[in-house]
């Protein structure tokens, strides 16, 4: 669940980010979807006038420790393909680059854009243009944030910003170091049970009774750029919070850094004092628009408060559905247990039966060898010298011996006749064996393809369900949600609950029916059927399958010859053979009969082994199923508990929105104070003492316009960049 504190703070942070990203005073007023689209299109069209027709919009997320030390830098880039180019050249220093919205590939400094915008992100270890240090003092003595945790006293928290990005340019005939002008906006939330008597330097404090929101602003090195005397007007370069603290704990902070407000200034109009006076008037007008925007923000929060009742009703329905899901999961888990027990019994029984396979085959082989040994003795007693009989050679040896004893070659003729007849049917036998093998291969291929189709269909349905859940619960698109997660604005618990809600919807009868319907439709498509046919043909052409077919054909031919030679019709023909051959013919007949039994036994034991292996797989699968249904049942219980907690927290949410609305009113009052004490004071400080201010302001704007990226940009491509720092809490 997203706590009310976090929701309130994130709402303020997103509002500040939106204001800076728009690059003007109008952005604090809530924009409707149509207005947002208009602003985006206007910005894109203006930027597209550049030579390349492409724009690089970059957001740098800085994950920092409680002291401001950088832990990780994640960069999110949006290449706006305004001309719909098939290829987009792009320079970047990022590592672990990942396309986060499409499947367009990047190679040799170029994206295969296919006419699309490109959204990607990566990591960087490059030095930041502005570094931030957060220091803590307790009763006047500096202390680490970890040591401060849980202590009480007079606490000072100070945010210092060091500008590391500058150019050396000529100003009024001299080489001057001009820093990239960044606006630093830092926001945080303080618990009023921990912090009391709060004072803020270079910031604004909004107190709703339970918590205080601090928003501070600084312009590192801008005082040096403009060479303004601090005694006349001091431009803030740090933010400091002083408070009486009981049992110190401190949440995360969000800082937005951008140079876009300065880059938007038109330096061509700053040619003389009159132009500067006009720019000061523009700044005053922009401040008036900011004041108007804060009033519109208040009106927007009033509308949000009115819609909170609909959210409460939806949560009640969600709680009822969660209870039904939990009951269904319990029933499914019970059935999976029954299946697991049955699979265990089946596997045990087949394993017992399969354990006797070697004994059966070994005993049958021993009997066969005993029969052959007895035959050797009988043949020797008859005074015949033949090769020792084995299972593999007895038929050939006896056939040759019988032929040598039968002057009319009756037996050989019969054997040739039977063999020829069987060989004439070899093509049919091969066809039947091939058909049987192909049937098995087709079933295996179909099962594998169906599994792949099922996974893709399930993933597609899940993506649709996730989009619906995000829209219903957070009123966010998947893209916005993923960006919020990447920026650390959605905590782990909230993300887990979103996933749980998606899992719940995926188990619904409607979702499962949709999945099965889509799978059936996909399986019946010409493409899938062609794939199955092609994969089956590929398997049939492998050496292993061809050998299986060949071996089975030879076994069937050999079996057919033995069965036909043992038939009454053939035996009647052989009865006319010489007396000397009759005994051998009878002996071979007996051995052929036993050989038929022996081959059948081998087929049977192989079938038992295959069945035992299948039962083992079934047992393993049923165990996995039981474990999965157990987790599903537990997860449904946790989901139900979480939704009940969410249901109980809705009144607090409505209360929080009410407080946020009241805070917006206080923000409006604070902007009025900032206008009178800040903007108007700056206008007064500059009036009558211009000096080289125009040239310095021109240089500052020029340096700002030159800084349009962090991770690299292609020559001729326009761009813009903003930085969002998030520090860890001390909790």
Residues spanned by the domain of 157: 131-253
pLDDT band at 648 (very low <50, low <70, confident <90, very high): confident
DSSP assigned state of 246: S
Mean pLDDT of the chain: 82
Pull the structure tokens for residue 715.
């020559």
Tell me what pLDDT residue 627 has.
86
Higher pLDDT, 463 or 180: 180
Asked if 650 contacts 317 with a C-beta cutoff of 8 angstroms, the reply is no
Percent of the chain scored above 90 by pLDDT? 41
pLDDT in tens, 309-334: 666 676 677 778 778 877 878 887 88
> Look-up: residue for tokens 């799978």?
519
Looking at 508, 543, 576, the residue that finishes a domain is 576
Q: Does residue 167 fall inside a structural domain? A: yes
Domain end marker among 519, 546, 576: 576
Task: Please state the rounded mean pLDDT for residues 507-523.
Answer: 92
pLDDT, mean of residues 541-561: 90
Query: Does position 296 have pLDDT exceeding 60, yes or no?
Result: yes
Residue 329, in any domain of the structure = no
Dump pLDDT digits (tens) for 429-482.
Answer: 999 999 999 899 899 989 999 898 999 999 999 989 989 888 888 888 888 888
Contact predicate 363/674, CB 8 Å:
no
- 94: phi then psi, degrees, rounded to nearest 5: -70, 155
Residue 54, beta-bridge partner list: 81
- Burial per residue of 678-697, b for 16 or more beta-carbon CB atoms within 10 angstroms, e otherwise: bbeebbebbeeeeebbbbbb
- Position 315 in a domain: no
Residue 245 is assigned to a structural domain of this protein: yes
Least confident segment among 135-149, 286-300, 635-649: 286-300
Whether the pLDDT of residue 688 is over 60: the answer is: no
Which segment of 95-104, 258-267, 605-614 scores lowest on mean pLDDT?
Answer: 605-614
Tokens representing residue 548 in the block: 């299986």
Residue 88 lies in a domain: no
Task: Report DSSP state, residue 387.
Answer: P
**Region of poorest pLDDT, from 189-203, 282-296, 529-543:** 282-296
- What is the count of structural domains for the chain? 2
**Within a domain: residue 232?**
yes
Structural domain includes residue 168: yes
Nearest in space to 723 (alpha carbons), one of 160, 236, 70? 70
Q: Give a yes or no: residue 433 inside a domain.
A: yes
pLDDT higher than 60, residue 28: no
662 has a pLDDT exceeding 50 = yes
Q: Would you say 51 and 716 are in contact if contact means Cβ atoms under 8 Å apart?
A: yes
**Confidence bin at 10 (pLDDT 50/70/90):** very low
Mean pLDDT within 535-554: 91
Taking only the tens place, the pLDDT of each residue in 480-509 is 888 888 888 888 888 888 989 999 988 999
Specify the higher pLDDT residue, 422 or 309. Answer: 422
pLDDT value for 283: 60
pLDDT beyond 50 at 98: yes
Of the three residues 201, 224, 253, the one that is the final residue of a domain is 253
Which range, 191-205, 218-232, 336-350, 672-686, is most confident?
191-205
User: Rounded to whole angstroms, what are the CA distances from 114 to 105, 109, 355, 363, 407?
Assistant: 10, 15, 61, 70, 86
């Amino acid at each position: 669940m997203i706590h009310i504190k976090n929701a309130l703070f994130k709402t303020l942070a997103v509002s500040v980010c939106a204001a800076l990203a728009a690059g003007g005073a109008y952005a604090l007023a809530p924009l409707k979807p149509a207005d947002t689209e208009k602003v985006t299109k206007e910005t894109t069209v203006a930027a597209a006038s550049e030579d390349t027709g492409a724009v690089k919009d970059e957001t740098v997320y800085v994950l920092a420790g409680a002291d401001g030390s950088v832990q990780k830098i994640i960069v999110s880039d949006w290449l706006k393909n305004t001309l719909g180019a098939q290829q987009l050249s792009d320079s970047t220093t990022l590592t672990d680059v990942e396309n986060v919205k499409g499947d367009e590939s990047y190679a040799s400094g170029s994206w295969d854009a296919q006419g699309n915008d490109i959204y990607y992100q990566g990591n960087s270890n490059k030095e930041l243009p502005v570094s931030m240090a957060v220091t803590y003092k307790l009763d006047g003595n500096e202390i680490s944030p970890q040591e401060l945790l849980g202590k009480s006293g007079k606490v000072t928290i100070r945010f210092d910003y060091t500008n590391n990005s500058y150019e050396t340019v000529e100003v009024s005939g001299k080489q001057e170091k001009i820093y990239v002008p960044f606006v630093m906006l830092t926001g945080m939330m303080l618990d009023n049970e921990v912090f009391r008597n709060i004072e803020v330097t270079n910031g604004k404090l909004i107190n709703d009774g339970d918590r205080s929101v601090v928003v501070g602003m600084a312009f590192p090195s801008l005082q040096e750029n403009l060479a303004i005397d601090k005694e006349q007007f001091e431009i803030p370069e740090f933010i400091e919070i002083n408070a009486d603290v009981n049992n110190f704990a401190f949440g995360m902070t969000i800082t937005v850094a951008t140079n876009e407000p300065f880059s938007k200034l038109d330096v061509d109009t700053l040619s003389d004092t009159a132009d500067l006076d006009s720019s000061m008037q523009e700044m005053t007008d922009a401040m008036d628009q900011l004041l108007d925007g804060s009033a519109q923000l208040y009106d927007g929060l009033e509308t949000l408060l009115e819609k909170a009742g609909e959210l409460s009703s939806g949560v009640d329905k969600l709680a009822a559905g969660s209870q039904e899901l939990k009951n269904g999961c319990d029933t499914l888990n019970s059935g999976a247990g029954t299946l697991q027990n049955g699979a265990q019994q089946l596997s045990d029984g087949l394993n017992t039966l399969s354990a006797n396979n070697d004994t059966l085959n070994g005993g049958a082989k021993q009997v066969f060898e005993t029969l052959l040994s007895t035959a050797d003795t009988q043949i020797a007693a008859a005074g015949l010298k033949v090769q020792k009989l084995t299972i593999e050679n007895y038929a050939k040896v006896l056939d040759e011996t019988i032929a040598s004893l039968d002057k009319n070659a009756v037996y050989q003729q019969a054997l040739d006749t039977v063999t020829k007849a069987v060989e004439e049917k070899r093509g049919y036998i091969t066809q039947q064996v091939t058909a049987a093998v192909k049937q098995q291969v087709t079933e295996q291929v179909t099962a594998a393809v169906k599994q792949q189709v099922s996974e893709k269909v399930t993933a597609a349905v899940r993506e649709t369900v996730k989009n619906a859940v995000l829209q219903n619960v957070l009123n966010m698109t998947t893209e916005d949600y993923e960006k919020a997660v990447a920026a650390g604005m959605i905590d782990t618990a909230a993300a887990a609950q979103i996933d749980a809600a998606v899992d719940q919807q995926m188990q619904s009868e409607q979702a499962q029916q949709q999945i099965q319907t889509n799978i059936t439709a996909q399986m019946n498509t010409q493409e899938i059927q062609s794939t199955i046919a092609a994969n089956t043909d590929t398997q049939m052409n492998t050496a292993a399958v061809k050998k299986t077919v060949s071996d089975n054909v030879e076994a069937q031919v050999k079996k057919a010859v033995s069965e036909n030679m043992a038939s009454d019709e053939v035996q009647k023909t052989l009865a006319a053979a010489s007396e000397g051959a009759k005994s051998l013919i009878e002996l071979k007949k007996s051995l052929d009969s036993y050989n038929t039994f022996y081959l059948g036994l081998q087929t049977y034991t192989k079938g038992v082994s295959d069945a035992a292996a299948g039962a083992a797989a079934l047992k393993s699968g049923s165990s996995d199923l039981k474990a999965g249904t157990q987790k599903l049942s537990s997860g449904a219980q946790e989901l139900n508990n979480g939704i009940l907690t969410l249901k109980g927290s809705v009144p607090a949410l409505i209360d929080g929105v009410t407080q946020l609305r009241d805070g917006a009113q206080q923000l409006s009052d604070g902007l009025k104070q900032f206008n009178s004490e800040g903007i108007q004071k700056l206008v007064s400080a500059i009036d009558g003492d211009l000096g080289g201010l125009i040239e310095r302001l021109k240089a500052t704007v020029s340096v700002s316009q030159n800084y349009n990226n962090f991770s690299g940009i292609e020559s001729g491509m326009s761009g813009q960049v903003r930085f969002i720092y998030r520090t860890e809490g001390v909790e």
